[in-house]
Structure 1
Amino acid sequence: MICHQTTPGRRCSLMARIYKSVVFGHFLLKRKAPAYSVVLSTRMANSTTKDISYDGLKELLEKGRNVLLVDVRTQQEVDKGSIPGSLHIPVDAVEDAFRLEPEAFKAKYGVTKPPLDSSELVFHCQIGKRGTTATSKANQLGYLNARNYAGGYKEWSEKAGQ
């Protein structure tokens, strides 16, 4: 992007507004003499994450279609209990897992990899933070409808009596 400037060091606010309207999310301006370039910020995580409630998740699971509920907790946490039907992929492995080709994903995890437009991809952890991180990673990979069960296993076990 070339920004015609009249004063050295002055950001071209018009170009910044144009890019802000085109790029959904946060951005940083980085000076490249004599122009400015737009660099996406990695701080986009919480701005695009969609949450699902306990009741919403319960209803989704009862419909039993192609829901993929991903538990991103540690193995030690999962060993203490899990939401029935959930697939364990630790938060640190989510990005690599969802970059796999569909055949490799199925071979490794035993389930079909969801399509990018799936609205039935839900991540959860113990109380919501790692679930948000995993959902954001999925969003960045193109799973824009992925959701986070913010109540996590803690809420599920309290409400479902697990």
Structure 2
Amino acid sequence: MIKQLQKKYVSRLLSCFMILSLIFIANGCSSSYTSAEKVHYIIEASAAIKMLNSEKVILVDAQIPDDYSKEHIKGARNIDKDEVNITTPVAGMLGPQELFEKIMSEKGISPDSTVLIYDKTNNSHSSRLWWAMRAYGHEDVKVVSGGLEALKKAGAEVSTEIPSITPTRYTAKDLNTSMIATKEDVIAQVNSPDKNTILLDVRTQKEYDEGTIPGSKLINYEDNNYTDKTFKSRQDIKIMYIENNIKPDNNIILFCKTSTRAAETYLALLEAGYKNIKIYDGAWLEWSADKSLPIQIKDTKNTDSNAAPANQDNS
């Protein structure tokens, strides 16, 4: 009995040592990893409030318009994430450059503006808008961890008043396609899996069991947050993903239903030092609508059922 306990204890110690070693290697031995860590895209509510006196700083509320009209931080202008998205052929996909420029201009944002975004949806809507802005080359944009509630707790004043906005003429950079995975990219991974590439489904367990892209791992995007809905620390994020055998040097393709929740995981991973990340923007809506594509479903016997290989004919 004592020997068994000793073995169990040693096993746990070794497991912890391996995880810490991987983190140390990522932090200490990879210049690209440490370089990525120096750029912070998540900001605490208290720090965000201190920045609001600057004319260069624009606070954006990413709630849906009805919720924004009921309560928002004083001075915040409203941008619903869907304002920069398209509805066809797949709802929720990032819209073209001219649409993005139109919305940014109407909201009084310039390419050199410092933009702080918050929401009340577990950081998901703000992360999606952040991702869209980053995809079109806006560098100085951050998400307020914990959103509206965190800002209120930190002392920010709330209001129902709509601020006046002076429009700008926003010119975006070309779309950064390295941040986006296409359906064809995902088909290629399903048909010929690359061991270093991970398809990561960030939806709920129920959604995952009802149907997912074959070979996908599941980590609910809400697991990136503490119970108060603020982002977990960078160290806690690293440990969680490494424990799930997702390492900083993996290529990661994220998706959910419309890739809103996927953007929250994208941000969490990027902040933790992961750099080879893409969002499958068509997401589950696009994949499941194509009847030629395989779907992995958890059957009643607690096993996975898979369809035939993905059809690569785009006709």
| TM-score (structure 1 length as normaliser) | 0.61
What is the letter of the counterpart of residue 214 of structure 2?
A: P
Displacement, 1:24?
8.4
| Partner of residue 253, structure 2 | 122
Mark the structure with the bigger radius of gyration.
Answer: 2
Question: Of 243, 256, 269, which aligns to 1:138?
Answer: 269
Query: What's the CA shift for 1:82?
Result: 0.9
Please report the TM-score for the alignment, with normalisation by the length of structure 2: 0.34
Tell me how far 1:147 sits from its aligned partner. Answer: 0.8
Which residue identity does 1:54 align to in structure 2? Answer: K
Equivalent residues in 2 for 1:21-60, closer than 5 Å: 30=51, 43=117, 45-46=130-131, 47-48=133-134, 50-60=179-189
1:79 Cα offset (Å): 2.1
Match of 1:93 among 197, 211, 223: 223
Amino acid at match of 1:64: P
Q: Percent identity?
A: 21
Classify 1:42/1:122 alpha carbon distance in 2 versus 1 (closer, same or farther; 3 Å). farther
Separation of aligned partners in 2, 1:140 and 1:61 = 28
Match of 1:131, as an amino acid? A
Deviation at 1:26, TM superposition (A): 10
C-alpha distance in 2 between matches for 1:23 and 1:153: 30
Name the CA shift for 1:41/1:74 in 2 (closer, same or farther; >3 Å): same
Gaps of 5+ in 2: 1-37, 54-113, 118-126, 136-178, 226-231, 296-315
Q: Secondary structure at the match of 1:135?
A: helix
User: Is the 1:73–1:130 contact (alpha carbons within 8 Å) kept by the matching residues of 2?
Assistant: yes
The letter of the residue matching 2:210 is: K
Query: Deviation of residue 140 (structure 1)?
Result: 1.3
Do the aligned partners of 2:41 and 2:271 also contact (CA within 8 Å) in 1?
no
Kept in 1, the 8 Å contact 2:183–2:282? The answer is yes
Q: Secondary structure at the match of 2:288?
A: helix
